[in-house]
């Protein structure tokens, strides 16, 4: 991947004035948080993870101190170049657009979910506040840009929004104690639900028999990222299949030309989630939705490494697996 770097400078570089360590250090922390939040947003969208992003996946977006300039430089762990560069491109494009004082519809177009948009808006405001009186230089060695003039009032309108419309995946079940109350579950916790006026109360019991569903409403999380409630639900949709356009594991990513499809299921008697792909012989069963998602991706990555990256000659069923996997990849990966 290309090398990106970040550095804090004075508004007049020729003045000879230095930058306080407290300002430079805090700005680097702010840049890292902004990049991590963008990266985790991409992971949630790509993988449909619901709760805390596992630490081994968050580390994909870690930066290192050093490089050719005094500041942060990109330093992805082996195999994670693609994940880091994807998040970095969005970060730099966001700074490019908003750092000139422009607003437009950039935030809505780039961060489509209200929840992610509010979080990243807060990150931008924090970065701008800590930069007060200084300039952030960023970019590649042959294309260095400056972030200086954020329209704080406009960005604050995103950060202060409390009516977030987002989506959550799980299984709806009737509350065993409270009458006419329902919960969503995707792991060992119960998530209380409330429905908007457009949802008829007579329809809700049917949602309980629908298996894995996506509910659209005001999703609230705790500071660790775990969903704690979903309010004002305006839609509920079954998800018999998921289409993954990227295969993501802690050790690497792989973009797909054609999606890998997973069939979803939930066994209410065993309290087990499952994702399967019969063409590849993937059968994953786990006690939580997120564990199931991660295990499916790890299994798929194992198959790509075993059958596509290998020079071994395959025959019979193994050859069919290899050809199927190759059919999912862009020509540049073959």
Provide the 10 A C-beta neighbour count for residue 84. Answer: 22
Residue 5: its pLDDT value, please? Answer: 84
Residue 4: its pLDDT value, please? Answer: 82
Looking at residues 164-169, what average pLDDT do you find? Answer: 88
Residue 152: its pLDDT value, please? Answer: 87
* For residue 75, pLDDT beyond 90: no
Instruction: For residues 257 and 334, give the distance between their C-alpha atoms in angstroms, rounded to a whole number.
Output: 11
* For residue 188, pLDDT beyond 70: yes
Question: Could you give the percent of the chain with pLDDT greater than 90?
Answer: 61
Residue 16: its pLDDT value, please? Answer: 67
Provide the 10 A C-beta neighbour count for residue 7. Answer: 20
Looking at residues 267-293, what average pLDDT do you find? Answer: 96
Task: Take residue 128 and report the two structure tokens written for it.
Answer: 């701008």
Enter the pTM of the model.
0.89
* For residue 70, pLDDT beyond 60: no
- DSSP label at 304? I
Looking at residues 68-90, what average pLDDT do you find? Answer: 67
Round the CA-based radius of gyration of the chain to a whole number and report it.
23
Looking at residues 243-258, what average pLDDT do you find? Answer: 93
pLDDT digits (tens, 9 = 90+) for 106-162: 888 888 888 889 999 999 999 999 998 899 999 888 888 899 888 888 889 888 876
Residue 241: its pLDDT value, please? Answer: 95
Residue 114: its pLDDT value, please? Answer: 85
* For residue 15, pLDDT beyond 70: no
pLDDT digits (tens, 9 = 90+) for 208-236: 999 999 999 999 999 889 999 999 999 99
How many Cα atoms are found within 13 Å in the side-chain-facing hemisphere of 273? 25
* For residue 69, pLDDT beyond 60: no
Q: Is the dihedral of CA 242, 247, 250, 253 positive or negative?
A: negative
Residue 205: its pLDDT value, please? Answer: 92
Residue 82: its pLDDT value, please? Answer: 78
Collapse the DSSP code of 147 into the 3-class scheme (helix H, G, I; strand E, B; otherwise coil) and give the result. Answer: strand
* For residue 283, pLDDT beyond 90: yes
pLDDT digits (tens, 9 = 90+) for 91-108: 999 999 988 777 678 888
- Indicate the pairing of strand 134-140 with strand 63-65: unpaired
Q: Which residue has the tokens 């007579």?
A: 202
Question: Which domains does the chain carry?
Answer: 4-159 (no CATH), 166-238 (2.40.50), 241-333 (no CATH)
Nearest partner of 276 among 258, 295, 302, judged by Cα: 295
Q: How does 8-21 read in b/e, with b if 16+ C-beta sit within 10 Å?
A: bbeeeeeeeeebee
Looking at residues 36-48, what average pLDDT do you find? Answer: 94
Instruction: For residues 180 and 160, give the distance between their C-alpha atoms in angstroms, rounded to a whole number.
Output: 32
Residue 248: its pLDDT value, please? Answer: 94
Instruction: For residues 147 and 177, give the distance between their C-alpha atoms in angstroms, rounded to a whole number.
Output: 53
Collapse the DSSP code of 48 into the 3-class scheme (helix H, G, I; strand E, B; otherwise coil) and give the result. Answer: coil
* For residue 18, pLDDT beyond 90: no
Residue 108: its pLDDT value, please? Answer: 87
Alpha carbon separation from 178 to 196, 202, 207, 232, 269 (Å, rounded): 18, 17, 17, 18, 22
Which band of pLDDT confidence, cut at 50, 70 and 90, is reported for residue 261?
A: very high
């Amino acid at each position: 991947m290309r090398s990106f770097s970040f550095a804090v400078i004075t508004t007049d570089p020729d003045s000879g004035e230095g930058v306080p360590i407290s300002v430079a250090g805090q700005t680097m922390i702010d840049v890292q948080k902004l990049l991590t939040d963008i990266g985790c947003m991409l992971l949630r969208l790509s993988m449909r993870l619901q709760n805390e992003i596992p630490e081994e996946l968050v580390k994909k977006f870690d930066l290192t101190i050093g490089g050719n300039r005094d500041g942060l430089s990109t330093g992805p762990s082996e195999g994670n170049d693609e994940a880091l560069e994807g998040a970095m491109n969005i970060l730099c494009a966001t700074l490019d657009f908003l750092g000139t004082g422009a607003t437009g519809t950039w935030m809505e177009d780039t961060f489509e979910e209200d929840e992610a948009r509010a979080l990243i808006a807060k990150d931008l405001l924090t970065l701008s506040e800590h930069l007060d009186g200084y300039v952030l230089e960023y970019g590649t060695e042959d294309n260095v840009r400056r972030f200086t003039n954020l329209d704080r009032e406009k960005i604050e309108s995103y950060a202060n929004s409390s009516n977030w419309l987002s989506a959550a995946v799980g299984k709806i079940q009737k509350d065993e104690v409270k009458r006419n109350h329902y919960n969503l579950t995707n792991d060992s916790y119960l998530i209380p639900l409330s429905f908007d006026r457009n949802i008829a109360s007579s329809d809700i019991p049917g949602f309980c028999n629908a298996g894995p569903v996506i509910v659209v409403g005001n999703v609230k999380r705790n500071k660790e990222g775990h969903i704690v409630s979903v309010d004002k639900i305006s839609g509920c949709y079954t998800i018999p299949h998921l289409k993954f356009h990227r295969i993501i594991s802690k050790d690497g990513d792989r973009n797909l030309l054609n999606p890998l499809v997973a069939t979803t299921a939930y066994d209410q008697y065993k309290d087990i989630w499952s994702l399967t792909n019969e063409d590849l012989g993937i059968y994953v069963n786990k006690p939580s939705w997120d564990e199931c998602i991660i295990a499916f991706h790890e299994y798929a990555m194992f198959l790509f490494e075993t059958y596509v990256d290998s020079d071994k000659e395959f025959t019979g069923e193994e050859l069919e697996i290899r050809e199927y996997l190759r059919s999912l990849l862009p020509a540049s990966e073959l």
